Amino acid sequence: EATAIYREFYGREGMNLFTVYPGIPGALEKLVSMGLSVSLVTSKAGIYASKIVEKAGLSRFLEMVSGCEINGNRSDKAELITYTLQKHGILPGKEIIMIGDRYHDIRGAKLTGISSAGVLYGYGSRGEIEAENPDLIIPSPAELVDLLTGIAE
């Protein structure tokens, strides 16, 4: 019953209660203009994630939005990353990077054989991110493009 109540609230109102971090739209625009492919891989339900991305004005930067199914299928981060790679028709490799703000983002990247970056401006703490030993730590949205450009070169 709690799940039904949550879904009703989230679908009606909760998914509209978001904030885009300052600098993210510009960073995404710059990454895409450099020829990089950007997709969103989130533990949120895909039907909500797509609507949030659209409302935030970010869909033009993303090739794909991958989220779990409303019934909970594909909720494991490694499974979501694998699903996204398969949809793109590409094999895992270190030239692909998962950027996230929680431990499961870093673990998912490692389990699937791609690079990982932990951001320090999201929901996870510095300690949580550092404990996972990501390939890269991104302190702020302003440093996102510079740090990723260094990895891509």
Domain ranges of the chain: 2-152
| CATH number corresponding to 2-152 | 3.40.50.1000
Per-residue confidence (pLDDT) for residue 1, from 0 to 100: 86
Taking the model in full, what pTM does it have? 0.89
- pLDDT tens, position by position, 51-83: 999 999 999 999 999 999 988 889 899 999 999
pLDDT computed for residue 110 by the predictor: 98
pLDDT at 81: 98
Residue 152 has pLDDT above 70, yes or no: no
| pLDDT in the model for residue 51 | 95
Segment among 51-60, 71-80, 94-103, 108-117 with least mean pLDDT? 71-80
N- to C-terminal Cα distance for the chain? Answer: 51
Percent of the chain scoring above 70 in pLDDT = 97
Mean pLDDT (the chain) is: 93
Does the pLDDT at position 151 exceed 90? no
Q: Which long-range contacts (CB under 8 A, 24 or more apart) does 81-88 make?
A: 81/41, 81/108, 81/109, 81/112, 81/114, 82/112, 84/39, 84/41, 85/112, 85/114, 88/37, 88/39, 88/63, 88/64
